[in-house]
């Protein structure tokens, strides 16, 4: 069975892949440096703080002395990460020994931020200008609703009641690895698309943002400027209003796109408009592991393989259809069952047993989430067994032969296939055989010569 993996990188992975000149340009912004520092492993943070005011290279051997014997592997991970992000510059001294030095641009910006403090290029608007700002609960509900609407429009536009204002060209960028297009056929989910839907919200967000940034050059937008603005946005306060007038024309375009994704909410007032960051936006500078944005679960799985999803979301129903048989849908309840046939269909589409189990566990209803395990063991084990059964069978393209004119011709054809190591199966009694596609031509030529 083919196996596909979508790697949902976070911002720091994208930053690490940028050219040296663009990285140094990014590090001129103190907030970018703080975001980088936040994302580092604990030991890497320690190294940066200790070397922040050291202007000369430090020998690699000396750094190793700062670590206890049991922390060698963590030390290597920390150093590798710092070098990837060009926070540390690696060099070799006169004695041919490796040394490390903090990137001067990063060093100056972070020193300035720590000593003088940092101020965002825009301040939140006073309450007497902005009216009826949403509560944090309403803002989180809005972000989730926008995100689900975007995902539904991404995979099944016909089911969206109020389509988002995302341009068709930008939507195609998001869809290029998730949907496959064929002439005169409706678009279908790819193996990557099936796996994408089973990710949690944060992993999906990173994937979409990565696609958005990687395509920025085609839209005439510098990737470094885009990353810089998004990381800067992550330092804004959730629920506070910021004037759209403080943004450049380039940033206004980005804000409108982010509003469609649920990262910000735009409101219009009498004296202007403003944007309000949601929790999705403020999580941008975090790693996936650190992000605490987890939606409340809605799925209950019973020992008889019945699935009850307490949700009104069309998206949830579409996701459950990927690996279960949805039997009926009530206003706030989806009822289905996990069957062998529904799982085989999921496996053939590139979804793995572990992805299905992880999805059910991460989205377990609060009433069952506290149980250990939250998904019955007999269900999880059976899902794994059905996947193992499917993996035992190997698909091979082949040709089936029957109706031979005589036994001599049949045995000669079998011998011909054996010579080319292509005989897969034979039934001497009924004179039937199956050969590999690669040897079909040779067997066919043999049979023609026998006529």
Give the model's pLDDT for residue 5.
40
- Statement: residue 57 has pLDDT above 80: yes
The mean pLDDT of 157-183, rounded to a whole number, is 74
CATH class of 398-450: alpha beta
CATH number listed for the domain at residues 11-116: 1.10.10
Cβ atoms of 259 and 139 closer than 8 Å: no
Q: What sign for the dihedral angle of Cα 222, 227, 228, 233?
A: positive
Q: Which alpha helices (H) appear in 27-135, and where do they start and end?
A: 30-39, 42-51, 60-64, 72-84, 104-116
In this prediction the pTM is 0.68
Task: Give the residue with greater pLDDT, 154 vs 335.
Answer: 335
- Given a cut of 60, whether residue 70 has pLDDT beyond it is yes
Q: Please state, in angstroms and rounded to a whole number, the distance separating the CA atoms of residues 3 and 14.
A: 24
Would you state the pLDDT for residue 434?
Answer: 94
- Most confident of the ranges 169-178, 298-307, 365-374: 298-307
Q: What is the pLDDT of residue 295?
A: 60
Question: Token digits for 216?
Answer: 């920025």
Nearest Cα to Cα of residue 60 among 52, 28, 51 = 51
pLDDT digits (tens, 9 = 90+) for 377-426: 999 999 999 998 887 767 788 999 998 988 888 988 898 888 888 899 99
- For a pLDDT cut of 90, what percent of the chain falls above it? 32
Peptide bond preceding 259 in cis form (omega within 30 of 0) = no
Domain boundaries, the chain: 11-116, 127-285, 299-391, 398-450
| Distance, CA of 172 to CA of 169 (rounded, Å) | 5
pLDDT at 293 over 50: no
List strand residue ranges (DSSP E) for 116-158, in order.
Answer: none
Mean pLDDT score of the chain: 85
- Provide the pLDDT confidence category of residue 353 given band limits of 50, 70 and 90: very high
Q: Quickly state the pLDDT bin for 285 (edges 50, 70, 90).
A: low
């Amino acid at each position: 069975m083919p196996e596909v993996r979508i790697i949902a990188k976070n911002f720091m992975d994208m930053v690490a892949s940028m050219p040296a000149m663009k990285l140094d340009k990014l590090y001129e912004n103190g907030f970018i440096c703080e975001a980088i520092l936040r994302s580092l492993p604990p030991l890497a943070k320690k190294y940066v703080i200790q070397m922040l005011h050291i202007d000369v290279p430090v020998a690699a051997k000396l750094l190793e002395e700062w670590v206890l014997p049991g922390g060698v592997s963590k030390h290597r991970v920390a150093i590798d990460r710092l070098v990837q992000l060009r926070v540390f510059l690696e060099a070799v001294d006169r004695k041919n020994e490796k040394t490390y030095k903090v990137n001067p641009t990063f060093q100056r910006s972070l020193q300035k931020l720590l000593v003088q403090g940092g101020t965002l290029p825009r301040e939140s608007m006073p309450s007497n200008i902005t009216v009826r700002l949403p509560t944090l609960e309403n803002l989180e509900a809005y972000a989730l609703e926008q995100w689900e609407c975007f995902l539904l429009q991404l995979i099944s536009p016909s089911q969206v009641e109020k389509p988002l204002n995302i341009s068709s060209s930008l939507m195609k960028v998001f869809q290029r690895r998730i949907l496959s297009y064929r002439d005169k056929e409706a678009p279908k989910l790819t193996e990557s698309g099936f796996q994408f839907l089973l990710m949690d919200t944060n992993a999906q967000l990173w994937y979409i943002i990565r696609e958005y940034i990687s395509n920025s050059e085609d839209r005439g937008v510098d990737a470094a400027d885009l990353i810089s603005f998004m990381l800067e946005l992550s330092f804004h306060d959730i629920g506070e209003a910021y004037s759209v007038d403080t943004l450049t024309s380039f940033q206004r375009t980005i804000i409108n796109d982010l509003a469609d994704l649920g990262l910000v909410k735009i409101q219009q007032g009498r004296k202007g408009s403003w944007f309000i960051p949601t929790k999705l936006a403020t999580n941008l500078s975090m790693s996936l592991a650190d992000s605490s944005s987890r939606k409340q679960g809605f799925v209950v799985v019973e020992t008889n393989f019945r699935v009850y999803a307490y949700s009104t979301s069309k998206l949830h129903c579409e996701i459950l259809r990927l690996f279960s048989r949805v039997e009926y849908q009530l206003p706030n309840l989806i009822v289905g069952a996990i069957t062998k046939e529904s799982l085989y269909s999921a496996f053939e589409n590139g979804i793995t047993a572990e992805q299905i189990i992880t999805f059910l566990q991460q989205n377990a209803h609060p009433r069952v989430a506290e149980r250990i395990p939250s998904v019955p063991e007999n269900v999880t084990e059976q899902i794994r067994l059905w996947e193992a059964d499917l993996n035992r069978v190997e698909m091979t393209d082949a040709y089936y032969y029957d109706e031979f004119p005589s036994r001599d011709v049949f045995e000669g054809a079998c011998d011909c296939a054996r010579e080319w190591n292509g005989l897969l199966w034979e039934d001497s009694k009924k004179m039937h055989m199956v050969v590999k596609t690669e040897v079909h031509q040779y067997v066919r030529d043999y049979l023609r010569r026998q006529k």
